[in-house]
Each structure stands twice: as C-alpha cells, then as structure tokens.
Amino acid sequence: MTNHNKCRLLLLSSSRTVGTEYLEHAHDYLRSFLNARARTVLFVPYARVSRNYDDYLERVRTNFAAIGYETVGLHSFGDPARAVMQAQALVVGGGNTFQLLRELYANKLLAVIRQRALAGMPYIGWSAGANVACPTICTSNDMPVVWPERCEALNLVPFQINPHYTDTRLPGHQGETRAERLQEFAHANPKLPVLGLREGSALRIEENRIQLLGLYTARIFSYASAREITPREPLDFLISGNLAA
C-alpha cells in the first residue's frame, strides 16, 4: 500500500463559484496552504484543448501574484521532467481531463510528479487537476476528445473525486443522474470510493488528514451506499480505507 503520509494536496472542485471571478474564491485556501513555503509555483496548462497555453498561464499568474507568488509555465521548459524535479510547488489547472492525462503521459511526467508529491512537494489542482490526483480519471465528467495511453493517473489519494458534483436533475432529462453514474462506478469498483465535490469546495490533505473546505457538503459513494459529509466532519477514513467510519 502506498504511504501518503508526506503528501500535501489542495484539490479544488472548480476554478470559480457563483458570484466570484476566476479563482477568487480560492485565494484564502491557496494562501493558507502554501503558507510562504514556496516563492514560485510551476503551472501545468495541459488540460486546455483550444486555449493558448500562454493565455492560460497569464490568467493563473494574475491570481497567484495577488497572493504573493510567482508563476512559471511548464510548457516553457525544454525538459518538463527536470522542471518538475526542481519545482517548489506544482499547480495543475482544469480543462479536459483526458487531454491533461494524455499530455502527462506523452511528456513522461506521471512518475516524476508522483515521486515529488509523495515526498512532500505541495500539489494544487482544480477540476481536471484534481481528477488526475486520483488512482484513475474514470470519474471525470469530461468527454474523451482524445485518449490517453491509460486511464491510470497519479494515485496520490486512494479514492476517486468527481469535481463539479451536482445532484440537480434537468427538467425533462431522462438519462441517469450524476449520482446514479457515480454509484455505478462504486458498485463496479468496491474498493474505490468516490467523493462528489461540489462547486466552490476543496479538499486539503496533509499527513493523512483530510479537511473539506467551503460551505457545502460533499457526497461519498461506496459499494452499496451514499452519504453526505459536512465540512465539520472528519474524512480521514478515506485515506485509511475504513469506510464504516
């Protein structure tokens, strides 16, 4: 079993929430999590399919500058693996999860990111960037507009995340709800629970402790059940595997 004791992860459901600008709701989370442990963050823009990487970097750079950090783009380095090895902190942006994972495989970055994160390098990801921290990307909401080498991802946490989780049913929609699809995954993969993370929420994970940040509950799907968890309740059982907790 992988030892996640040294992992320092901040996994956000989304880059924005109702009534806020891009990443604005996350500034306090980011500031508290980084806590001046790094001066520069390395940004991974690979999840973008149609937007220019430099434009994406600039959008993220503006937000990190607002909380006192410099941002550099991984795409500007000729040797991405070496850049990750030297990074003080890694930030993985959202977009299309399949595109992101394909580029991580193509650039041979999964092993080096995993090595650094397990050794304690701060890892921040939102949306697709939160998805790839999981064992697989099989609980993404995204369409597979491209296909990665495999669906196995970074495996920094021993559970799945569904970012942008909602239990809203559209009027007239006759297909399965998000909850029904995630329950199917949990039933088919009984050792791999799924945490549905609502917009504006985040998980802060340090030393095998998990804190749910934000105003909303999260929903945990396991083999035969689903339950709501409030930000005040402990989530450490997702690391220990004791789903009866």
Catalytic residue numbers? 127, 142, 164
Contact 11, 92 (CB under 8 A): no
- Compute the Cα dihedral for 67, 69, 74, 75 and give only its sign: positive
174 φ, ψ (degrees, to nearest 5): -105, 0
Q: Concatenated DSSP letters for the chain?
A: ----TT-EEEEES-S--TT--TTGGGHHHHHHHHTTS-SEEEEE-TT-SSS-HHHHHHHHHHHHHHTT-EEEEGGG-S-HHHHHHH-S-EEE--S-HHHHHHHHHHTT-HHHHHHHHHTT--EEEETHHHHTTSSBSTT--S--SS--S-SB----SSSEEEEEE-----TT--S--HHHHHHHHHHHSTT--EEEEETT-EEEEETTEEEEESSS-EEEEETTEEEEE-TTS--THHHHT-TT-
